[in-house]
Structure 1
Amino acid sequence: MAWNEPGSGQRDPWSSKRPSGGNHGIDDVLKRLRARLGRHGGPGGIVTIVLALLLAWLLLSSYTVIDARQAGVVLRFGQYARTLPPGFHFKLPQPIETVTKVETTRVRSLSDSVRMLTRDENIISIDFTVQYQVSDARAYLFAVDDVEGTIAAAAEAAVRSVIGHSDMDLILSGEGAALVDEAGRTLQKTLDAYHCGLQVTAVSFQNVAPPAEVKDAFDDVNKAREDKQSIENGALAYANKVVPVARGDAARIAAEAAGYKAERIARAQGDAERFSLLLKEYKAAPEVTRKRLWLETMEQVMAGNRKVIDGSGGRTIINLPPVPAAATTAAAATSDADADKENQP
């Protein structure tokens, strides 16, 4: 029995090699071609199979499907022809045109750890991470040979440039976020100069600290910085408490001085005006004015003293006011001091 006679599918040499669940349309075409070749044989049947396979190959390689997360770069005889957006596209069959698919929405990341010198010549260790995407599929494929190595070198150069122009205190303080942003801009500028089709999405610093060999010294420096800040805060609080009080006292003293000044000026002006009036009256009636001034003076002198009325008929009595006790004590002490000075050799 011939191998292609019906009745025993196990004798079919193609049945054991055909994968299960394949393309049934192509399998049917091949079955018909095999049946025709088995019936007729000869070079004509072989040519028919070759033509059928060539036609199937042309049909299958004349289109491509680009995923929504991808971009397709079309090469025609190895030279760039065009870039395909997501969707279904027709193209020339291989090897005339080939399509290389590049994922443009996937976020790639790169991490590295470096030691470097700051502007104030301190050593610092930084772990940094760079996240990036493909912005130009053609440049990504053909601009540079080693994309990972290029972005790693550019990222390290950007971080070294930023850290090398900053002081240790600034790097370790809360202003480090500004340095991260500056490093990202520097890295993107470098990648744009390379025309490698990459877009930096994020740059972050982790474990920014001095090396372990000098950690103890930096801990002492940080503690001293914290003590300094604490003392400055205490001094500022004391100044905020004392300065307003001092300013209030100064304002009060200035107001009292201004009041005293106004009082003295007003009193002096009043005395001058009074003297001018008295002078005018004195010029008009000297005797009357003189007597009036004497009477007013005696009134002021006698107003504070005890009066003694003498009814004996003309005996003169001088009434002296009593001396206060404090004045008596002070006078006695002065007399004793003068006596001691005189007795000294």
Structure 2
Amino acid sequence: MGNTFCFFCGCIQQSNVGVVEKWGRFSRLAQPGFHFFNPLAGECLAGLLSTRICSLDVRVETKTKDNVFVQLLCSIQYRVVKENADDAFYELQNPQEQIQAYVFDVTRAIVPRMNLDELFEQKDHVAKAVLEELAKVMGDYGFSIEHILMVDIIPDPSVRKAMNEINAAQRMQLASVYKGEAEKVLQVKKAEAEAESKYLGGVGVARQRQAITDGLRENILNFSHKVEGASPKEVMDLIMITQYFDTIKDLGNSSKNTTVFIPHGPGHVRDIGDQIRNGLMEASSAQVNLD
């Protein structure tokens, strides 16, 4: 239900204020409610003003300090002050155009002093400066500026594309750094694993040789005790010759050829033993000379 009026009376709804004139001159403000007008005395309702908050969207195109053209989308929320509704009714014919003009003036004075990055970071500072200027000016005309919101900052499309490419390049660089660090850790862990593997392999070989030495010693002692007249040296020669032939056998089994030709004869057995013994003696002698 809206405002209703007749020739002698009228009803003004909530969030509205009426301007009453007498003989064409401002007389008083009519607050929400029922009012009588005396047309015989020259009274009449000249008009109505809404005291609700209104919103005005303003798009401003300007240039930053680093010569980038941007569009600023501002949302201005304003209202008529009840006590000064007569000023709002009589002083300004088109308040929206007046507000828009001041927004253009303030933003085009502040934004050219900022770089594009600073504009994005300090858009609240721009909105505050516009609010202070508008509140000071529009207050004299009966309007109150409630809020100013910097809704959006839209650079030129080519600039936006360049900014996205810069961002993408920075992220690619960061990804490369992380990838390099990951590869570095992988190489270090691989080297540590290889060193540990070699160490354990060496321990295994040492234990294997120790076991072979212990087994040979035990075999020599057992053979010497069980066979009378056999010296440890003779037993050692016999074991070494046996191992030699076992090695030849394994070589023949593992190779593609099933036959291995070696010198054979009754005297060759002693020669093999002498060769093995001489080799061990030469190795021992070389070790002594090194020490």
- Normalised TM-score (structure 1): 0.43
- 2:148 counterpart residue number: 203
Asked if 1:111 corresponds to 2:53, the answer is no
**Can you give the 5+ residue segments of structure 1 that lack an aligned partner in the other structure?**
1-59, 235-345
SS at match of 1:106: coil
Among 43, 56, 69, which residue is 1:123 paired with?
69
Q: In the TM superposition, what whole-angstrom CA distance separates every residue of 1:16-70 from its partner, at most 9, and x where no partner exists?
A: xxxxxxxxxxxxxxxxxxxxxxxxxxxxxxxxxxxxxxxxxxxx53333322211
Q: By how many angstroms is 1:141 displaced?
A: 1.4
Q: In the TM superposition, what whole-angstrom CA distance separates every residue of 1:240-298 from its partner, at most 9, and x where no partner exists?
A: xxxxxxxxxxxxxxxxxxxxxxxxxxxxxxxxxxxxxxxxxxxxxxxxxxxxxxxxxxx
Map 1:61-210; keep pairs closer than 5 Å.
61-93=7-39, 96-135=42-81, 136-173=84-121, 175-192=122-139, 195-210=140-155
Aligned AA (2:37): K
Aligned AA (1:209): I
- Distance in 2 (CA, whole Å) between partners of 1:129 and 1:94 is 46
Question: 1:129·1:203 contact (CA, 8 Å) conserved in 2?
Answer: yes
Map 1:1-345; keep pairs closer than 5 Å.
61-93=7-39, 96-135=42-81, 136-173=84-121, 175-192=122-139, 195-222=140-167
Q: In the TM superposition, what whole-angstrom CA distance separates every residue of 1:289-317 from its partner, at most 9, and x where no partner exists?
A: xxxxxxxxxxxxxxxxxxxxxxxxxxxxx
Q: By how many angstroms is 1:73 displaced?
A: 0.9
SS at match of 2:92: coil
- Distance in 1 (CA, whole Å) between partners of 2:148 and 2:172 is 33
Q: By how many angstroms is 1:223 displaced?
A: 5.4
Question: 2:17·2:51 contact (CA, 8 Å) conserved in 1?
Answer: no
- Distance in 2 (CA, whole Å) between partners of 1:66 and 1:101 is 11
Number of residues of Structure 1 aligned to a counterpart in Structure 2: 169
Question: 2:49·2:89 contact (CA, 8 Å) conserved in 1?
Answer: no
SS at match of 1:204: strand
**Can you give the 5+ residue segments of structure 2 that lack an aligned partner in the other structure?**
1-5, 179-291
- Normalised TM-score (structure 2): 0.50
| Structure 1 or 2: more strand by fraction | 2
Question: 1:103·1:134 contact (CA, 8 Å) conserved in 2?
Answer: yes
Which structure has more RCO (C-alpha within 8 Å, separation ≥ 6)? Answer: 2
Distance change in 2, residues 1:80/1:204 (3 Å): same
